[in-house]
Amino acid sequence: MNVLKRMWKNRRAITSGEIIGLAVSFFLVAILGPIAIGTIANVTTTNWEAPVVTIFQVVLPVIWTVAVAIRYLPGKE
């Protein structure tokens, strides 16, 4: 059940509870996302190996961004 796909196709097929849930989840991502990304960027990695630092500071935020885009952007069926 992808709420945004249903909303995109038929504007009357979505309930108020789904809209509220979508809004709350969007605000949680908007508030907690930058905090998490900032924490990942500022972690002390002095004793870590270079590949682990790259994965932790580069790949993880990119995966998070892609996951948010997949969740909130309507796609084709």
The confidence score (pLDDT) of residue 23 equals 86
The confidence score (pLDDT) of residue 42 equals 82
Those residues whose C-beta lies under 8 Å from the C-beta of residue 8, and which sit 6 or more positions away, are: 74
The confidence score (pLDDT) of residue 34 equals 85
The confidence score (pLDDT) of residue 65 equals 86
Q: Which amino acid would we find at residue 19? A: I
Is the distance from CB of 36 to CB of 64 less than 8 angstroms?
yes
User: pLDDT tens-digit profile of 45-68?
Assistant: 888 898 888 888 888 888 888 888
pTM above 0.85, yes or no: no
